[in-house]
A = this chain, B = another copy of it.
Amino acid sequence: MLVGATSEPGKLGYGIVENLAGFPGAVHFVGREAGVLLGRPVYARVESVPDPVDLAVLLVPAALVPDSLEACGRRGIRAVVIASGGFRETGDNGAALEAACLRVAARHEIRFLGPNCIGIIDTHVPLDTTFLRPSGAPEGPIAFLSHSGALVAAVIDWSRGRGFGFSRLVSLGNQADLTETDLLPAVAADPFTRVVTMYLEGIGDGRRFVAAAERAGCPIIVHKAGRSTAGRHAAKSHTGALAGDEVAFDAAFRRAGVLRASSTEEMLDWARTLAWAPPMRGRTVAVVTNAGGPGVVAADAVERHGLALADLADRTAAGLREFLPSVAGFENPVDMLASASPVDYSRAVEAVLRDDNVDAVMVIVAPPPRYVAKDVADAIVAVDRTKPVVVVTMGGPAVAEAREVLRSAHVPDYGFPFEAAGALGALYRRSTFAPHTPCASVRDPAVVVMPTGTGWLEQSAALKLVDGIGIPSVPTLAAITAEEAVRAAGSLGYPVAVKAEVPDLVHKSRAGGVLLGLDDSAEVERGFHTLSERHSDLRGVVVQPMAHGDVEIVVGVVRDEQFGPLVMFGTGGVDVERERDVAFALAPVTCEDMEYLLATTFAGRELSETAAAAVSEAIVRLGMLAAEHPEVAEVEINPLVVQPHGVLAVDARARIDSGPGSIA
């Protein structure tokens, strides 16, 4: 049912009328002008429409939408597309109208798409609720969910004549009710969908998205643009300073196996290979070419996308020698020379596909001077493609027919090797993704006594919190006078470290707030006075015995507005922000996250096995703390010193946010 139907050809409402005409079921129109549209009566009111109605599309002025929605609700309609604009995107009045729609929808248990969206297309039903010209979209295995309606229009138009198509397209509009996360499961479960692509400008509920993506059962490729507009908490820790918006997206996408493309074109390039090719079991690629230069470019591109040139087995080279000229290249890339015939292509591709050292094949077809490119494509298509095969058809008109042949046979083709290698790289990453498993390295989950209140804890309290979750920390005594400091030092035993307690001082060492290796009471007393002079806002000091270790690392927790708690791990010390040797993962961490944290940082790679186990346990505990206690806003242990038999937290900062009334 379309509410807002019109017979005026220039209007968007007429566009929707025309596109709905393709729907094989019953379509009803509601409009201000009574009469007949496409042979169907136009009703004046929603209430007058006969039959059960499954879906209503509203295209009436924004101010009238809540009433139309109310009428739909009374009529028992539970699914609505609000195509109208004029809501939150236009200011406060519009936002109020949007809120009114949500209230009506809640009352009638309506779920709606939009407002301010161009609707949905299902190419297989077919159903097209948009006003786009021409109607529908090329059919195919790719679903597209988009935060931008214009991109839906552009992507459909761009795909025409390019040999791929879509199962469903959804324009999400303002997402007042239904979001990308709500739509994802249904779109992924569509039997015609093999890959879900998404254009996102942000994600409302990050964790729910991650869970939905993990369960989706088909590859998801996201082009994410835009920055979080929510003001970021001014960073008061290295962890906070290093955790840009993108860090959380990357951690979440890694967890869920979502592939992140850097442009719309790349997203669609990858989608074709992911939809059409079998999984890629390893990272090796054989290149088969009829020209040397493109082979060199292909070899470069393969390595740039994290893949490797396969070492061909001797038997493969021997097989190739049977039919290729003796001056051909028999290593990888296999350079068949410009004289390569269609039969040479199919035999060479078959030969490298049989090679156990080969996980995928990139075939390059530079315009063959003595043959027709289309015949080469026919030969390639006839090969039994037991592993992924992508083809680079270099040129324009000379290879146009070859492209048609390849696309009809669902062999992904690209114009240059760079894009083809990128698609194989994405296929490899997706093929080797497995759902993460919880990290179970913690033996005795500690019971945490959470500090109350809001704001940054004092050092001694932060270290106590850390100690409380089972991360051993160096004994720490607070003192607010020189005398207390001397007494504390005496009870701990010399030498000691004396550290200034100054609110909001992040770079404490650099600011001269840390005195190390004080050997007797006189030095401690002098030290206390030095710190008093240096820091006018000194609240006191903490005294610790000197702690030594081989390596200093940093572990931390920060909270992202969209994805919640993240842990950070990396090289610690005073130069954390300069070294940038850190990695992030969603909290709580999984075994795969832990492997990633340790493998992608120098700090992780340099740990001994014993040390790695101790560090992992600390990270897991910190991750659990963050996941279970939302009031833990930010934690940083720096340095966490790695000692022969475990780790020791020497310095810690923690910010608690117990809700409204936060001071930080």
Contacts and interface: CB of A to CB of B under 8 A. Distances in A.
Interface string A112-141: 000000000000000000011100000000
A364 B303 CA distance: 34
Contacts of A228: none
Nearest to A267: B416
Interface string A241-271: 0000000000000000000001111100000
Contact of A297 (B264, B367, B370, B415): B264
A151 B415 contact: no
A199 interface: yes
A546 interface: no
Given A154-B366, A226-B300, 4 more contacts: A156-B395, A158-B396, A161-B397, A263-B418
Interface in A483-502: none
Contacts of A150: 290-294, 338, 366-367, 394
Given A161-B396, A396-B161, A416-B263, A294 B154 contact: yes
A296 interface: yes
A45 interface: no
A160 B397 contact: yes
A610 interface: no
Interface string A146-167: 1111110110111111100000
Given A160-B397, A293-B148, A416 B265 contact: yes
Contacts of A156: 395
Nearest to A86: B327
A296 B226 contact: yes
A299 interface: yes
Residue of A132, A159, A297, A327 ringed by the most chain B CB atoms within 10 A: A297
Contacts of A15: 369
A301 interface: yes
Given A297-B225, A418-B262, A369 B131 contact: yes
B395 A158 contact: yes
B157 A399 contact: yes
Interface in A391-411: 394-399
B199 A395 contact: no
Contacts of A225: 293, 296-297, 299-300
Contact of A367 (B154, B162, B263, B338): B154
A201 interface: yes
A163 B248 CA distance: 42
Contacts of A299: 225-226
A323 interface: no
A340 to B, nearest CB: 11
Contact of A157 (B10, B398, B578): B398
Interface string A411-432: 0000111110000000000000
A25 interface: no
B148 A292 contact: yes
Interface in A346-370: 366-367, 369-370
A366 B150 CA distance: 6
Nearest to A201: B296
Nearest to A417: B263
Nearest to A304: B262
Interface residues of A, number: 66
A579 interface: yes
A416 B327 CA distance: 43
A662 interface: no
A225 B418 CA distance: 11
A115 to B, nearest CB: 14
B158 A10 contact: no
A12 interface: yes
Nearest to A292: B148
A350 to B, nearest CB: 23
A154 B290 CA distance: 12
Contacts of A290: 150
Contacts of A90: 327
Interface string A281-311: 0000000001111101101110010000000
A89 interface: yes
11 contacts: A148-B292, A148-B293, A148-B297, A150-B290, A153-B366, A153-B367, A153-B369, A154-B367, A160-B397, A263-B301, A263-B418
A396 B157 contact: yes
A416 B264 contact: yes
A91 interface: yes
A433 interface: no
Contacts of A23: none
A28 B580 CA distance: 67
Given A226-B300, A418-B262, A418-B265, A293 B157 contact: no
Residue of A148, A154, A263 ringed by the most chain B CB atoms within 10 A: A154
A602 B150 CA distance: 43
Contacts of A291: 148-151
Residue of A199, A397, A418 ringed by the most chain B CB atoms within 10 A: A418
Given A263-B301, A293-B148, A418-B265, A154 B394 contact: yes
A394 B602 CA distance: 43
Contacts of A338: 150
Interface in A158-197: 158-162
Contact of A396 (B86, B162, B226, B602): B162
A148 B265 CA distance: 27
B296 A148 contact: yes
A159 B395 CA distance: 8
Contact of A327 (B89, B223, B301, B396): B89
Task: Rank and list the top 3 A-B pairs by shortest CB-CB distance, nearest first.
Answer: A148-B293, A150-B291, A157-B395
Contacts of A395: 153-154, 156-158
A416 to B, nearest CB: 5
A610 to B, nearest CB: 21
Contacts of A131: 369
